[in-house]
Each structure stands twice: as C-alpha cells, then as structure tokens.
Amino acid sequence: MTFRTGFRLQAAATAMLLSLALLTDPCPAQVMDTGEGGGTAVTGSIGAGVVFAPEFAGSDEGKAAPAPMLNLRYGPVFLSTDKGLGVRFDLLDGSLEISPAVNYRWRRDEGDSELLRGMGDIDGQMTGGASVIYRIDDASFGVKGFQGLGDDKGFTLDMRLAYLNRMNETFHWGLAAGAGFADSDYLQTHFGVNRIQSRRSGYSVFTPSAGLKDVSLGGSIDYYLTPSFSVDVFAKYTRLTGDAAESPLVLHGGSPDQMATGLLLFYHFGKSE
C-alpha cells in the first residue's frame, strides 16, 4: 500500500469514524469565554490513532492506516474532519443545530485495488451542503446532504439516529444507526460501469438508479484518562443496499458488508467548567 493510498484510506475511514466520535460530545466544541476581555477561544479536540477500513466502498479487503482527527470551533465557525468547514447556528435553546459547510470528497484510484483495474480514477473534489441535528436529552437525529462541486455532481443524503450515555465523568458510550441515499450521478461514478470501463475491466455495463445506498450501525466507547485526554474505540458496520449492492464491483470479488474500526487518543481543550 502506497502512502497516497494509505492517506485516502485513513481519510475516508476517519470521516466514517468521526461521525461516531461525535456521539461522545452532543454539543461539541462549545464557545468558551476566555475571561480576558470577554473574547472567545478556539475550542474542540484533536486526536490521532489507527483505523481499519475497506480499501474502497464495496471492497471485501480492509487495511489499517494512521488517522488524524480534528474538531475545532471558534465562535460559530467550525473545522471538522467529518463536517468540513462551515458555520453552526444553534436554535431552540441549543436543541436544533443547522450547519452549512463545504467539505471534501476523497479520490479513488484504480490502483487502490485489483478489483478497480480498468475502472479509471475518480478525482477528489469539494462538496457543498448542510447538516441539521435535533437533540432531545441524550438522543439526537441528524440529516446531512452534500452536492459535488466538481466533475462528479453526485448528491448524497445521510440520516442518523444516535444515543449517548454518559455513565460518569470518565466513561461514555454511544450507539448510532444510519441510512445513506444517493442520486444516480453519485452511484454511477462510484458503483456504475460504463462502456469504456466495461471494455477495460471485463465487468458488464451497469447503470444504477438513485435510491437507498446503505444502512449502518455503529458504537463508541470513550474513557477519559484525564479531563483533557480520552481513549476512544469505535466500530461501524455498513451494509450496501439497492443498486450499490448490485454493482459488479461488489458482486465479483467485493462485498456488501463493510466494517470499519478505530482506536484513537483525543486531546480536548477549551471546554467550559
């Protein structure tokens, strides 16, 4: 595995796992008064660890790679491995969060796996969209939709229901269930096979339609070594569905069952007492 391939692997897995990591902080990166002239400070968490994830969506092979994690906030502006760069608006006394943002959709190289030979590369590109989260006590429901801003105009919509249990100051655990939808442009790019790809790869021509792309279930266990440092373990199982599961990439050597796990160390800073 080359460094470039490993970086894309950990980047994609990081995005998957950070959605679980945020279970441990239902109102992450709150703004803190510094007490020095009433200003605000950058708050949030940074982390690093190891993740194990599929080589690409639909692969039956997984690889381990290092994973940096980032979740920062300054006033309403945030920078997150999962949510990208955006602005967060808190409504209804903090129960409702609306966050328009720009993010990045990572590239896929045909050299990443033998199953991708002849499929060509998918360039990475910026995406634009928003996420909405509604919280009731320890439960939350979130929806995020992002549109490709480059050659890949595909649109994705992800929904998630999550629950967080803070058993005490040092031990937290959470569960999340989700579903992902995609339009035909996104599915054609990532799971479809056009005529040129068919001739080069040997796969049959496949033109997927828009619809449900996957369902998932994940969990996290976090242990705080100190108020500032935590060790986090994550796992997420995703089942490809619909036309994504019928792709030749999945049927001929791949798998609709996708598993990602991670072991991470976080440093948290700027939280209110």
- Residue 148 to residues 79, 102, 182, 209, 240: CA-CA distances in angstroms? 19, 10, 11, 17, 21
pLDDT at 270: 85
pLDDT at 82: 83
CATH architecture of the domain 3-269 equals: Beta Barrel (2.40)
pLDDT at 12: 53
- Residue 23 to residues 1, 99, 197, 234: CA-CA distances in angstroms? 31, 17, 40, 10
pLDDT at 214: 98
Delimit the domains of the chain by residue range. Answer: 3-269
Averages of pLDDT over runs of 10 residues in the chain (273 residues) are: 47 52 44 49 93 94 91 94 93 95 93 94 94 96 94 91 95 97 97 97 97 97 96 96 98 96 94 49
pLDDT at 171: 96
